[in-house]
Structure 1
Amino acid sequence: MLELRGIRKSFGRIEVLHGVDLQVRAGEVHALLGENGAGKSTLMKIVSGIIQPSEGQILIDGQPRHFPTYDAAIAAGIGIVFQEFSLIPGLNAVENMFLGREKRNAFGLLDRKAMRTRAQAILKKLEVDLPLDVPIARLSVAEQQFVEIAKALSLEARILVLDEPTATLTPSETEHLFKVMRELRASGVAIVFISHHLDEIFEICDRITVLRDGQYVGSTDVADVTVDQLVEMMVGRRIENSFPPKPTLEPAARIVLEAVEVQLRRGGPVSSFQLRAGEILGFAGLVGSGRTETVLSILGEYAAARCTVRVDGAERRLRDAADGLAHGIGLLPESRKDQGLITAFSILQNVSLNNYGKYQRGHWFIDFKKELACTQTAMDQVRVKAQGPRARVDTLSGGNQQKVVIARWLNHDMRVLIFDEPTRGIDVGAKAEIYQLMRDFTAQGYAIIMISSELPEIIGMADRVCVFRSGGIVATVEGSAITSEQIMTHATTGKVHHVA
């Protein structure tokens, strides 16, 4: 149904796509894989008319097509759901679905009833029940995701591009999305699926095309390839083990942070834990179990019913994240783009945020040479790949953006680093680099709390794991007890006990 031949794209003198080919059949889910920066999103923006190719051909049903605009691609039956939602927060689901394509009656007035009826029919087909009259901003991330998909289907798309659609979904929401995708596939829709989760590729996709550094590497049926082979195609080398070996922890290691008691809501469970120098303490549990809220309450950013914390043995009442910084605690938030970075700023400006006092010269001046040198040192320490400290953050891959957030906290001389979903939206090669950085930090004496929804990540990285359920810690597991079976049993049944 969709064929790309020899697609090239240059921005100025830099060519980012080097003659890419792609064939997507009707009634299949086709995975488009590659590391961040491989050219996947650029290629899909060409398919959808958002940017124009420098060379190459787009064919639909064997006929050459040219899409000068996004609207032209829509008219040809192409719908795309971007990783970053394109919804208007103040409008409701119906208004968003028909934005710019509003139905009107014979008098030229908005036909709200017709739009609502059509929206209800599409959502019913998706088996999604969500409120149609509230602003999008009040819907959950999963509900917003399905509004995006419904918007694409309202265009009667025959070719549907899904760019990282499961990045913010729970396992049950992901399974529902896959059910919808299977039904669309059965109806003859061609789906291009972009994901960094290789287990999802093997569950839902029929064929795979891999890009690397803007070049076409190859295509294969899912049944004919292994995970290791896919990784090697994506990164150009074999990654034997993404997770570094776990060191043996010193029994007498210093306790750097202790949550004596944390109660998120009155009448709820009371949690406690200790974090030691040189360890990675995993926080596991289902979405909504209280993992992130517990961390935010310690930092004074969440109004918990009770919260008693000791830092280096002394009881502290942290008022906010800035207070946490003053006591050597840095948070790498779940959403790096919304909460951790100002992407329109340079690396230099992001690394220096909240830390200009370090460069102060006198009362009124900044030592810019010192700022530049400190930024470069931090970049080198976490191995940021960029043209230099003055490169804009929004030009970097997801993995390098995450490294910039880490560099900022290293520049603050932190002792405790809290990683909330550290590898979300990051490709397999960059994940391995982040994991190695975390182990490098603990070898230097840093203490790390890692919140993650990915069980393999928790199992592969954590020295001990606190399992959360219903707002509190229900178990702490370590050693050979750190298994998916143990963690999920505690996360779903909530039986409270300590497993040594």
Structure 2
Amino acid sequence: MEDKRDDTILSIRGMSKSFGRNRVLDHINLDVKRGTVMGLMGENGAGKSTMMKCLFGTYQKDEGSIYLDGKEVNFSGPKDALENGIAMVHQELNQCLERNVVDNLFLGRYPVNSLGVIDEKRMKNEASKLFRKLGMTVNLDQPMRNMSVSQRQMCEIAKAISYNSKVIVLDEPTSSLTVQEVDKLFEMMRMLRDQGISLIYISHKMDEIFEICDEISVLRDGNLVMTKSAKETDMNELIAAMVGRVLENRFPPVDNQPKDVVLSVQHLSTKFEPYLQDVSFDVREGEIFGLYGLVGAGRTELLETIFGIRTRASGRVYLNNKLMNFSCAKEAMDYGFALITEERKANGLFLKGDLTFNTTIANLHAYKSGAAISDSKMVKATANEIKVMHTKCMGPGDMISSLSGGNQQKVIFGRWLERSPQVFMMDEPTRGIDVGAKYEIYDLIIKMAKEGKTIIVVSSEMPEILGITNRIGVMSNGHLSGIVNTKETNQEELLRLSAKYL
């Protein structure tokens, strides 16, 4: 191989990987230049995660070579990769939530003093120095559990930097971040790039890819179909490369016709932090009502309180003028409420189950034959949801853990659709989903609204909340700071309202 050390830090040559007869990667060639941000895009199931797992040694590649700084490398696992200068910040953060920031930073490599005792003072000093250098203010002693997803993610990036990484892979890093937090992340990324560190940025968010990346590579069906300078391509070309066809619009027409008020939330407040304070709003039949706000504004808490899984201090919820006072999720489900949670893996999926189990678990009574539950009915229902949702998989018997994040999200959607809910609440429903699949989800949401379902959507993506809703409620520090008509508002007004109670 010719020596490209001058400007190429990471070079992948002829990488292939198959699972059984399914070829997931097909002779991938990819170069990442020193001190640049490489955007990596592709639909769910295109092979992005598999390529990264082969790079980090989580999977053993079938063929091909990896060169880091001109030398061939074969990592035995992520720890080996980390110690040799390649780090990854995962979308689903794997941290010891009961331990504090310093413990998580030094996990697996605690420094010891001359007596062989863990040197806590040194750990604290090094952590302080690192966060200062990154311009981050963090309480080093607090357990990770008390931090927001964005703060925990910043800690994970800090950990990657502490290993003196030459290449840092960021997998969907902004999926739980607000606009301001994304700006902060990008500032940090530019600083790292200017220090000569290379970043691989995996994302489905087009606007961000063009804002932060120097080059963009696209995977489709296990093939690398495009690598271009960000300046030499545009959104339409990227989408066509990803989905293999031209997608005229990012959002389907929002042509649902809301009718009378179905859901009424009145003066809702919660007992425990983060507090909701006197939140009131109405949602109509067949309406798509968006909830926007900064992370920690209380959007998730609002959905959880309505759903009965967070304790209410005061306030009332009415459905069709009937008082709803749920003390648990089952009661809410029995009255036709559904909730898609933000954290898929933590509280949305049964990771040791197959697609059939994950699709049918919330609706078992519907698959009975006599007194017993019918396997064939469950499999048939799952096959139908796979078809409706265009889920990429081999069949109902696939383990849910073998699917890409976006396809897992489609299974969760299918599970709730099996219950035909009247009020469908969705917390970041397209988090980590590619542009083609997003369009399908948007289509589905609008179709459900047309069928008379009442829909509440939480989203941190400004274009999304403006692209698929009829009205938007903006949360700010536990308060509902305003409700606007989507067609009559803009990004500036949403940002202004989200800062009202800060």
TM-score, with length taken from structure 1: 0.92
What is aligned with 2:450? Answer: 443
Q: Report % sequence identity.
A: 39
Tell me the alpha carbon deviations over residues 178-200 of structure 1, each in whole angstroms, 9 at most, x when there is no partner: 22211111111111111221211
Task: Give 1:225's aligned residue.
Answer: 233
Worse overlay, 82-91 or 262-271: 262-271
1:90 aligns with one of 87, 94, 98:
98
Which of 133, 141, 144 is residue 141 of structure 2 equivalent to?
133
Superposed, 1:60-459 pairs within 5 Å as 60-247=68-255, 249=257, 253-264=259-270, 269-363=277-371, 365-459=372-466
Instruction: Report the secondary structure of 2:245's partner residue.
Output: coil
Displacement of 1:432 after TM fit? 0.4
Alignment-mate amino acid for residue 266 of structure 2: V
1:290-348 deviations in whole A, cap 9, x for unaligned? 32222222222222332212212222222222111111111111222222221221121
Deviations 1:441-461 (A, max 9, x none): 122222211111112111111
Q: In 2, distance between residues paired with 1:155 and 1:268?
A: 40
- Alpha carbons 2:37, 2:213 under 8 Å: kept: yes
Deviation per residue, 1:381-415 (Å, 9 max, x gap): 33333222222212222232222112222222311
Kept after mapping to 2: 8 A contact 1:3/1:59: yes
Distance in 2 separating the partners of 1:24 and 1:225? 18
Distance 1:69 1:272, change over 3 A: closer
Say whether residues 1:42 and 2:26 are aligned partners: no
Offset at residue 268 of structure 1 (A): 7.2
- Counterpart of 1:70 in structure 2: which amino acid? P
Question: How has the CA–CA distance of structure 1 residues 207 and 138 changed in structure 2, closer, same or farther, with 3 Å as cutoff?
Answer: same
SS in 1 for 2:460: coil
Q: Distance in 2 between matches of 1:145 and 1:167?
A: 11
Candidates 494, 497, 502, aligned match of 1:487: 494
* SS of alignment partner, residue 312 of structure 2: coil
1:469 corresponds in structure 2 to 476
Q: Tell me the secondary structure at the aligned position of residue 294 of structure 2.
A: coil
Aligned-partner SS, 1:323: helix
Consecutive unaligned residues in structure 1, runs of 5 or more: 496-500
CA contact (8 A) 1:242 1:435 kept: no
Instruction: Tell me the distance in 1 between the aligned counterparts of 2:167 and 2:324.
Output: 56
Distance 2:321 2:219 in 1: 51
- Measure, in 2, the Cα distance between the counterparts of 1:269 and 1:67: 51
Q: Within 2, Cα distance between the matches of 1:359 and 1:91?
A: 43
Maintained 8 Å contact 1:263/1:472: no
1:20 to 28, 32, 36: 28
Could you say what the CA RMSD is over the residues aligned between the two structures, in angstroms? 2.3
Measured in 1, the distance between the counterparts of 2:315 and 2:279 equals: 9
- Between 1:324-333 and 1:466-475, the stretch displaced more is 466-475
Check conservation: 2:12, 2:29, Cα contact below 8 A: yes
CA contact (8 A) 2:92 2:345 kept: no
Partner AA of 1:405 in structure 2: I
Gap change, CA 1:378 and 1:22, over 3 Å in 2? closer
Residue 269 of structure 1 deviates from its aligned partner by 4.8
SS in 2 for 1:109: coil
What is the CA–CA distance in structure 2 between the aligned matches of 1:296 and 1:86, rounded to whole Å? 23
Aligned to 1:498: none
User: 1:55: which partner in 2?
Assistant: 63
- CA–CA distance in 2 between the matches of 1:77 and 1:488? 38
Deviations 1:72-104 (A, max 9, x none): 433432222222223222332222222222222
Match of 1:8 among 13, 16, 40: 16
**Cα distance, 1:8 vs. partner?**
1.1
Distance 2:281 2:267 in 1: 8
TM-score (norm 2): 0.91
Contact between 1:17 and 1:214, CA under 8 Å: does it hold in 2?
yes
Q: What secondary structure sits across from 2:95 in the alignment?
A: coil
| Aligned-partner Cα distance in 2 for 1:72–1:291 | 40
What SS does structure 2 have at the residue aligned with 1:400? helix
Conserved? CA contact 1:29–1:207, under 8 Å: yes
Residue identity opposite 1:487 in structure 2:
L
| 1:265 to partner: Cα distance | 6.3
Rounded Cα–Cα distance in structure 2 between residues aligned with 1:144 and 1:489: 26
SS of the residue 2:499 aligns to: helix
Amino acid at match of 1:127: G
Counterpart AA for 1:194: I
Amino acid aligned to 1:263: S
Partner-residue secondary structure (3-state), 1:20:
strand
Partners in 2 of 1:484 and 1:259 — Cα distance?
Answer: 26
Distance of 2:114 and 2:292 partners within structure 1: 56
1:151-174 deviations in Å (ceiling 9; x for gaps): 222221112222222222222222
Q: Look up the equivalent residue of 1:261 and give its one-letter code.
A: H
SS in 1 for 2:204: coil
The answer to whether the 8 Å contact 2:148/2:295 transfers is no
Secondary structure of the 1:324 match is helix
1:36 aligned counterpart, secondary structure: coil
Distance 1:345 1:257 in 2: 34
Amino acid in structure 1 at the alignment position of 2:131:
L
Does the CA contact (< 8 Å) of 1:255 and 1:313 recur in 2? no
Deviations 1:416-446 (A, max 9, x none): 1111111111111110010011112122222
Task: Point out where structure 2 has 5 or more consecutive residues left out of the alignment.
Answer: 1-8
Q: Look up the match of 2:6.
A: none
CA shift, 1:289, in A, is 2.6
Distance in 2 between the 1:322 and 1:369 partners?
A: 25
How many residue pairs get matched? 492
